[in-house]
Each structure stands twice: as C-alpha cells, then as structure tokens.
Amino acid sequence: MNGRDRDTEGRARSARPRDGLGRPLAYGEAGVERQPEGVVRTPAETVEQAQRLLDAGMPFHAHEVFEDAWKSGPAAEAALWRALAQLAVGLTHAARGNAVGGARLLRRGATALAGDGDGDAAGGTSGGGAPYGIDVAGLVRWARELAGRVEAGAAVDAAAEAPRLGPPPGRPKPL
C-alpha cells in the first residue's frame, strides 16, 4: 500500500503543516491553516480575502485565492486572476529568499497585468483600468520596483511588502 498522504478525493497531498509562506514544516509542528481549494467567490470577495492574506504576510495563501478565481471565473477574466496569482507567488519566493524566482514572477505578473508585449492587458484592463477596484497601474509599479530590489539583494518581509490591491485608503476607487 502506498503511504503517501491523500486528500478526500484520493489525490496525493502532503498533510505536513505549512508556515505562512507555504513552506512545509515537520509533522507535528504547529502550522498555518491552509486555504481551502476550489472555493467560488465573487470578485469582491476574492480581492477582500486576498488582501487580508497579503496583509497578514501570507502571499502563498493569497495566490491560492487568486487561483480559485482564475479557475472558476469567466474565461475573459482568467488572465487578470492568473497575473495576480503570479504577483503573490513572486512575493512568496522573494520572502523565502529566492531572488531569481521572486523577481522573475513579479515581472511576469506585472507584464501580464500591464499587457506589455501582446497589446492586451489582463482582464481587458488596457490603459491601466481598475477592474473590481484593483489598482492595476499601482500593482505593476509595485511589482517592478520590488523585483529590482529583490535582484539587488534586498531581504523581503512579506507583510511589510504586501501590495494594496485597491487604491490607498482615503482615495476614492476608480469608476
């Protein structure tokens, strides 16, 4: 018999606890509860849940929220949610000390959000629009700036570097 951990549907899934950055811990150690997978949320709920996780220094978990939106939402919005997931994974890698992977994913997500290269921004946000109140232009700037600092050797604290998905507090959301 195979001794691998399995989920309720029989898929291989490690039961090891994980830390806030998604790194496996030793069996028996206290970890952070995992994000449930396959949750269908409204776009507003997705943004709210992901922001809460980013603010808590848990970008790995935020990426799972974005991944749920990308896989369960309309195909026309998949690029937006996938790009946001890439930003969250980039922050995860940077906070884990993986400068190369972190910078690469931050830039890949920024490029997808900005629409650089193919003329069409993620989620149809050409021109820096704000689908669901998401500050696309601000996230692109944040990701590119952080990627440069990561490549230069900056240590990254995931909570301190967490981006704001929407406009800064006190500034009205774009229409």
**Choice between 91 and 169, residue whose per-residue pLDDT is larger:** 91
Q: Look at residue 108 in the predicted model and tell me its pLDDT.
A: 97
> Is the pLDDT at 124 greater than 50, yes or no?
no
Average pLDDT along the chain: 85
The mean pLDDT value for 38-59 works out to: 94
Q: Look at residue 133 in the predicted model and tell me its pLDDT.
A: 92
Tokens of 108: 């890949």
**Candidate ranges 15-29, 79-93, 118-132; pick with highest mean pLDDT:** 79-93
High-pLDDT (> 90) share of the chain, % = 61
Residue 68: other Cβ atoms inside 10 A: 22
> Is the pLDDT at 15 greater than 80, yes or no?
no
CB contact set of 158 (below 8 Å; sequence gap of 6+): 20, 21, 54, 57, 58, 59, 91, 92, 94, 95
Q: Look at residue 84 in the predicted model and tell me its pLDDT.
A: 98
> What are the backbone angles phi and psi of residue 31, rounded to the nearest 5°?
-120, -175
The angle at the Cα of 92, spanning 127 to 42, to the nearest 5 degrees, equals: 55
The mean pLDDT value for 29-46 works out to: 84
> What are the backbone angles phi and psi of residue 110, rounded to the nearest 5°?
-65, -45
CA–CA dist 83, 76 (Å, integer): 13
Low-confidence winner among 87-96, 125-134, 141-150 (lowest mean pLDDT): 125-134
- The CA-atom distances, in angstroms, between 76 and each of 73, 82, 122, 138 are 8, 11, 9, 22
In the block, residue with structure tokens 């507090």: 169
Helix H or strand E encompassing 65: helix 59-72
* Residues belonging to the chain: 175
